[in-house]
């Protein structure tokens, strides 16, 4: 006979509280024999059930190293009978704390919320080795097998770990993998094109060709020459994109194009439009969502020119003229073309994504922060597929003039390919760029079930903020430090275990220095060892697309076990305290990679991934 009088635990807080249940049924012999003719659950066995609930609670507090014996039933009061068919609930609360010599508990038994009994008891700890000698092993209910099973099957799931109680950033159990990459950058329209340009040190920065930048102080840029937002998608989807193009600024078109590439890259089959199938018939569209990192989009001058001309009164621009002559000439849907949430809007419609959808306007940190949010959404169990996106074009006369005026852009225009020099002592500022990157995050169980190709696993993400000001960064890089620490903690990765860091590195000195300081603060002594690379020498600053494009490319360019050098970083800033890769690649010593983003304005983000290679 097994002397066990509870069925299972349903709540367990180590050293504090435990709740178990017991189903009383006619299948049990003792129910019939206690009072023949009136089957009921004996009160003594309720005391034993409470003793076992409290006994496991007390024993677990010292990791079952000591035997627990019931020393005294201080008080037991019963209020009603428990009959077959009832489920009773034992709740044991430790009075004060579990001490080396033992503990007291206060217990309560209920049935559907109705009080059945109140029982208080005391336990004594006996030394594990002495106890069997004094009392005989057979007198202990909980043997090793019982405790092993209890731990495996119940307590490990119920008990929030001590770490979790202290630190809410501990990951939930769902694991997240990367199964699709869609990237458009000045280096080409795929993640591998960017990876290859970084590996071979080929910069895609050229003289500005989009508009006449002649009078501008900065006349170099990373431009995307052409792309097709309808490539590879269904005819009905292509029709939608074509029709909506009039209300999609280039940022939005880039985002849609990257999302298409990313989804097509997952290998999820497209449905047959003629047969009226959903776009992705093998997945539940309610479990597909997205978050995009975006930026404000300046109105194209072509849209403004005619209304502006119509606003002139006596040869001068006039607000009154704008009201009477200008506004009627404005394209009536202009707002839809420039809203920063339309990336997700069109992508969501195009792919019938019915799950969570959001847009984050956090400047250059937007893409990685989107990934942070996507990972959390999957962990919460609200979606199985999330598109983490970022898209931005800075190749606009309005934006380039603005960034010129605030002194962020380089004015070294003579040799475009070497204009952007991240972490180099001769750096002179950012190069305006444009791009889009979408990374498909998928719950690991979903990806494994469909045999998906897995690029890597997202282990940890983090976000940080400062109050440095709208056009500033903190010199001590505290936002970066917060984000990196969070990402490492969530990943459970020590700084020294990292194989490589792909830093934001825009080549704008205050921004590079702030990022370096933040990395040094978060990584400690490991900062001098882990190789740091960066990609903006190739692309220029792609704004909200940056971090995700870096991550996507890194998943590919690190595959051969080499960390490529930072393009155009020939004289690394030695004062930074980091191990910048310069000149030639270095060996990747582990598959754990940190990617960071550090925006002017104070937003920072970090992600730790494990490469699958």
- Contact between 333 and another protein (CB under 8 A)? yes
Q: What string marks each residue from 48 to 67 as x (binds another protein by CB under 8 A) or -?
A: --------------------
Residue 245 near another protein by CB under 8 A = yes
The answer to the question of residue 246 lying near another protein (CB under 8 A) is yes
Cβ contact 413:221 at 8 Å: no
How far is residue 37's CA from residue 40's CA, in Å, rounded to a whole number?
Answer: 10
Per rule CB under 8 A, count of chain residues that contact another protein = 12
If one counts every other C-beta atom within 10 angstroms of the C-beta of residue 175, the result is 16
SS3 call for 92: strand
Tokens of 525: 């002594």
Q: Could you tell me the end-to-end alpha-carbon distance of the chain, in angstroms, rounded to an integer?
A: 53
If one asks whether residue 244 binds another protein (CB under 8 A), the answer comes out as yes
CB of 247 to another protein, least distance (A): 9
Of the pair 239, 571, the CB lying nearest another protein is at 239
Nearer to another protein, 241 or 479 (CB): 241
Instruction: State in angstroms the smallest separation of the CB of 579 from another protein.
Output: 51
SS3 212: coil
- Among the listed residues 34, 125, 343, 571, the single catalytic one is 34
Q: How is residue 265 written in tokens? A: 């890259």
Tell me which stretch binds another protein (CB under 8 A): 67-75, 239-247, 513-521, 527-535.
Answer: 239-247
Of the candidates 243, 274, 316, 584, which one interacts with another protein according to CB under 8 A?
Answer: 243
Q: Is 66 exposed, middle or buried (0-12, 13-18, 19+ CB in 10 A)?
A: buried
Q: Which two tokens stand for residue 517?
A: 């300081």
Residue 142 or 334 having the CB closest to another protein: 334
Stretch that binds another protein, among 114-122, 331-339, 393-401, 487-495 (CB under 8 A): 331-339
**Across-strand partners of 409?**
430
- Residue 106 buriedness (CB in 10 A; 0-12 / 13-18 / 19+): middle
Minimum distance, C-beta of residue 270 to another protein, in the bound complex (Å): 21
Minimum gap (Å) between residue 307 Cβ and another protein: 11
Of the two residues 234 and 329, which places its CB atom closer to another protein in the complex?
Answer: 329
User: SS3 of 605, please?
Assistant: strand
CA 145 to chain centre: 39
CA-nearest of 368, 406, 365, 292 to 598 is 365
Question: What is each CA distance from 437 to 185, 391, 392, 487, in whole angstroms?
Answer: 8, 6, 10, 21
Task: Work out whether 230 is an interface residue with another protein (CB under 8 A).
Answer: no
- Which among 243, 599, 604, 191 is positioned nearest to 435, based on CA atoms? 191
Binding of another protein at residue 242 (CB under 8 A)? yes
Report the residue number, 63 or 306, with the smaller CB distance to another protein: 306
Task: Confirm or reject binding of residue 309 to another protein (CB under 8 A).
Answer: no
* Window 552-591: residues binding another protein (CB under 8 A): none
The reply on whether position 239 binds another protein by CB under 8 A is yes
At 542, list the tokens: 């792609």
Rounded to whole angstroms, the Cα distance separating 25 from 244 reads 66
Q: Are 322 and 307 in contact (CB under 8 A)?
A: yes
Nearer to another protein, 2 or 243 (CB): 243
Please identify which residue in 36, 100, 332, 525 interacts with another protein, judged by CB under 8 A.
332
CA angle 245, 249, 250 (to 5 degrees): 95
Element (H, E) at 360: strand 357-360
CB of 296 to another protein, least distance (A): 23
Is 472 a residue that touches another protein (CB under 8 A)?
Answer: no
The least distance separating another protein from the CB of residue 325, rounded to whole angstroms, comes to 13
Give the range of 37-45, 111-119, 325-333, 424-432 binding another protein by CB under 8 A: 325-333
The CA radius of gyration of the chain, in Å to the nearest whole number, is 32
Please answer whether residues 261 and 389 qualify as being in contact, where contact means their C-beta atoms are separated by less than 8 angstroms: no
Q: Which of 155/245 has CB closer to another protein?
A: 245
Q: How far is the CB of 600 from another protein (least distance, A)?
A: 36
Decide if residue 302 touches another protein (CB under 8 A).
no
Single out the residue of 34, 108, 174, 329 in contact with another protein (rule: CB under 8 A). 329
Output the smallest distance, CB 332 to another protein, in A: 5
DSSP state of 299: P
Judged by beta carbon, residue 275 or residue 333, the one nearer another protein is 333
Output the smallest distance, CB 337 to another protein, in A. 11
In terms of CB distance, is 98 or 244 closer to another protein?
244
Q: Is 401 strand, coil or helix?
A: helix
* Shortest distance, position 305 Cβ to another protein, whole Å: 13
Question: Are 590 and 568 a contacting pair, CB within 8 Å?
Answer: no
Q: Residue 34 catalytic?
A: yes
Is 339 a residue that touches another protein (CB under 8 A)? no
Contact between residue 367 and residue 373 where contact means Cβ atoms under 8 Å apart: no
Q: Which of 334, 337, 399 is nearest to 363 (CA)?
A: 399
Residue 259, token pair as written in the block: 């999302």
Please give the backbone phi and psi of residue 333, each rounded to the nearest 5 degrees, phi first. -100, 20
Widest Cα–Cα separation across the chain: 110
Nearer to another protein, 336 or 454 (CB): 336
Q: Which stretch binds another protein (CB under 8 A): 109-117, 242-250, 479-487, 604-612?
A: 242-250
Could you list the residues that contact another protein (CB under 8 A)?
Answer: 239, 242-246, 328-329, 331-333, 336
Residues taking part in catalysis = 34
């Amino acid at each position: 006979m097994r002397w066990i009088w509870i069925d299972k635990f349903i709540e367990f807080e180590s050293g504090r509280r435990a709740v178990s249940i017991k189903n009383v049924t006619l299948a049990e012999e003792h129910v019939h024999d206690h009072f023949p003719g009136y089957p009921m659950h004996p009160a003594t066995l309720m005391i034993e059930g409470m003793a076992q609930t409290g006994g496991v609670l007390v024993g677990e507090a010292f990791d079952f190293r000591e035997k627990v014996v019931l020393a005294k039933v201080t008080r037991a009061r019963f209020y009603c009978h428990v009959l077959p068919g009832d489920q009773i609930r034992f709740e044991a609360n430790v009075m004060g704390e579990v001490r080396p010599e033992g503990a007291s508990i206060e217990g309560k038994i209920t049935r559907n919320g109705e009080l059945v009994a109140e029982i208080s008891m005391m336990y004594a700890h006996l030394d594990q080795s002495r106890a069997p000698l004094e009392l005989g092993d057979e007198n202990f209910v909980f043997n090793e097998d019982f405790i092993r099973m209890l731990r495996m099957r119940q307590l490990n799931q119920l008990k929030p770990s001590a770490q979790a109680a202290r630190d809410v950033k501990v990951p939930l159990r769902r694991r997240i993998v990367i199964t699709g990459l869609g990237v458009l950058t000045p280096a080409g329209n795929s993640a591998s094109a960017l990876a290859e340009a970084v590996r071979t040190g080929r910069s895609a920065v050229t003289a500005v060709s989009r508009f006449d930048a002649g009078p501008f102080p900065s006349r170099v840029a990373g431009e995307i020459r052409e792309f097709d937002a309808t490539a590879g998608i269904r005819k009905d989807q292509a029709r939608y994109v074509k029709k909506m193009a009039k209300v999609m600024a280039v940022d939005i078109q880039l985002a849609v194009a990257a999302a298409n590439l990313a989804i097509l890259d997952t290998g999820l089959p497209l449905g047959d439009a003629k047969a009226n199938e959903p776009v992705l018939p093998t997945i539940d569209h309610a479990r597909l969502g997205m978050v995009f990192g975006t930026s404000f989009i300046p109105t194209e001058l072509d849209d403004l020119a005619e209304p502006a001309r119509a606003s002139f009164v006596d040869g001068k621009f006039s607000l009154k003229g704008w009201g009477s002559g200008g506004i009627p000439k404005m394209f009536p849907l202009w707002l839809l073309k420039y809203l920063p949430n339309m990336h997700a809007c069109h992508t969501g419609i195009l792919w019938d994504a019915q799950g969570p959808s959001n847009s984050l306007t956090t400047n250059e940190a937007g893409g990685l922060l989107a990934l942070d949010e996507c990972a959390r959404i999957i962990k919460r169990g609200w979606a199985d597929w999330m598109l983490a996106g970022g898209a931005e074009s800075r190749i606009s006369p309005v934006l380039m003039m603005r960034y010129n005026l605030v002194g962020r852009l380089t004015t070294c225009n003579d040799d475009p390919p070497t204009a952007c020099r991240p972490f180099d002592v001769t750096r002179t500022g950012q190069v305006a760029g444009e791009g889009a990157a979408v990374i498909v995050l998928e719950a690991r169980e979903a990806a494994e079930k469909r045999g998906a190709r897995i690029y890597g696993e997202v282990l940890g993400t983090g976000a940080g903020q400062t109050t440095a000001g709208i056009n500033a960064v903190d010199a001590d890089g505290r936002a970066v430090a917060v984000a990196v620490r969070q990402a490492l903690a969530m990943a459970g990765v020590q700084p020294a275990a990292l194989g490589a860091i792909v830093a934001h590195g825009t080549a704008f000195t205050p921004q590079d220095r702030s990022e370096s300081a933040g990395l040094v603060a978060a990584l400690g002594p490991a900062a001098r060892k882990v190789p740091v690379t960066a990609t903006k020498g190739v692309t220029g600053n792609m704004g909200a697309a940056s971090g995700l494009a870096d991550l996507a490319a890194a998943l590919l360019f690190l595959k051969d076990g080499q960390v490529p050098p930072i393009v155009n970083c020939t004289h690394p800033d030695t004062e930074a305290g980091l191990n910048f890769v310069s000149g030639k690649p270095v060996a990747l010593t582990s598959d754990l990679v940190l990617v960071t983003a550090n925006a002017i304005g104070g937003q920072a983000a970090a992600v730790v991934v494990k490469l699958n290679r």
